[in-house]
Amino acid sequence: ALRRRDSPAHCADARDLMCRYLLPEPGAALNGNRVVRLEVLKELAEHWLAFDVLVEVCDQDQDVQQLQEYAKMYATNYGPEFHMAVCKYYQSKGLWKRLIDLQMPSESVHAKTLHEFLERHNPAVAGAYGIRSKEWAQGARNFENAAETQRDLKVKRAELSLAKLALRANGGGQREEVEVDRKLQVLKIQDTFLKGEVLSPEGLIDELCRTAERSDTDDEQLALLKAAMEVAEEILWTKGPEKAKTVWAKSWSIQAKDWEELSEVLREGLITDEKANERLQKTLFFRLGDMHHETLNRQVFETLRRDGKLEGGLHWLGLLKELEDQLFPTAGPVPS
């Protein structure tokens, strides 16, 4: 006769036969025939080490005590395999809460297997399990990981908020908490100005700039560009500086006609310097620069000078220089 585990293919065949002919339908009436079939099924499953069948039988009968007995029985030789079968069964049924609620005798083996399984297959539940186990750092990390791929804005914000609470409970992680706060701020900006699926910070900046271009009033445009700049400032440690240049370029090009008109009257001497300064200070570019000096530097102006969009209007360059001098009035060199 075949010994257990000698032939995985034969084991799989045996499992299929057991389930097809012996496993009752869920919710079937309890009678003598059903009891006999379950007893035979359990004996065969124990022989073939069909752990998933044993877990399913226990779940159908809501027999947690029997499941715990099996955990003890297989602890020495097959502990991790049995606990993995438990995890996979409840995953297949979508019963995540019941899975993390299980109290198993070999707690350390079960906890390790369960934690690794949840991290791979459901980081959000892994976060909840970590917090329940008072493993605050693990819980925070898993909630952050879950938020990385979450497209629903409200759910993502909830996951990041739970990560932040777990970090505080851990009694440290100030740098990590600041990073979570940055991500929450970016979500808040999207929720204020744009709805729909969560965008990446870079995608959010681009969409805010496009929306500003379609807006009707200067104040709306300024609010959207200011929001885009705030997102750029929140991600300064990655692609922030480059995306900030995108916002500055948009704040310049969005008023192209105004720049052209202003440069024309200046060239023709139809306006005083004082009036020209007043008009400069009312432009989107200047108003944004007044609020966000942190990302505005000489490099931004150099980028605008090199921008192909300005090639057709070289008289704008003098206007650009005037803006640069007003926003950077110091006599000494300005850091780039």
DSSP notation for 287-305: HHHHH-GGG--HHHHHHHH
Residue 228, CA distances (Å) to 109, 147, 200, 205 in order: 48, 21, 12, 5
pLDDT score, position 155 = 96
The two structure tokens encoding residue 49: 């080490």
Give the model's pLDDT for residue 77: 87
pLDDT of residue 212: 94
What is the model's pLDDT at position 208? 95
Cα–Cα distance for residue pair 156/198, rounded to 1 Å: 8
HSE toward the beta carbon, residue 92, CA cutoff 13 A: 11
Q: For residues 20 and 12, is the Cβ–Cβ distance under 8 A?
A: no
Is the Cα dihedral 187, 190, 196, 201 positive or negative? negative
Residues 6+ apart with CB under 8 A from 240: 232, 233, 234, 295
Q: What is the pLDDT of residue 121?
A: 96
According to DSSP, residue 197 is labeled S
State how far the Cα of 204 lies from the Cα of 117, in Å rounded to an integer: 33
Distance CA 57, CA 23 (A): 8
* One-letter amino acid of 313: G
**CA-CA distance, 4 to 47, in Å (whole number)?**
7
Cα separation, 193 vs 321, in Å, equals 33
User: Given the structure tokens 């010994």, which residue do they identify?
Assistant: 3
Q: For tokens 């032939």, name the residue.
A: 7
Q: What is the pLDDT of residue 291?
A: 84
Under 8 Å between Cβ of 114 and 128: no
* Predicted local confidence at residue 49, as pLDDT: 86
* Alpha carbon distance 215, 213 (integer Å): 6
Instruction: Give how far Cα 144 sits from Cα of 95, 232, 234, 237, Å.
Output: 22, 20, 17, 18
pLDDT of residue 99: 93
End-to-end CA distance of the chain: 80
Tell me what pLDDT residue 39 has.
Answer: 82
Q: Which pLDDT score, from 0 to 100, does residue 322 have?
A: 66
What is the pLDDT tens value at each position of the chain, 336 positions in all? 334 554 444 455 566 666 655 665 665 544 456 677 778 888 888 888 889 889 988 988 888 999 999 999 998 888 889 999 999 999 999 999 999 998 887 677 888 899 999 999 999 999 999 999 899 999 999 999 999 999 999 999 999 999 999 999 988 667 889 899 999 999 999 999 998 899 999 999 999 999 999 998 989 999 999 999 999 888 765 565 678 888 888 888 887 777 777 777 666 665 566 777 787 788 888 888 888 876 777 777 777 767 655 444 444 556 667 667 766 665 444 444
Q: Cα(141)–Cα(173) distance, rounded to whole angstroms? A: 11
> What pTM value is reported for the model?
0.75
3-state secondary structure 198-238: CCCHHHHHHHHHHHHHHCCCHHHHHHHHHHHHHHHHHCCCC
CA–CA dist 147, 160 (Å, integer): 6
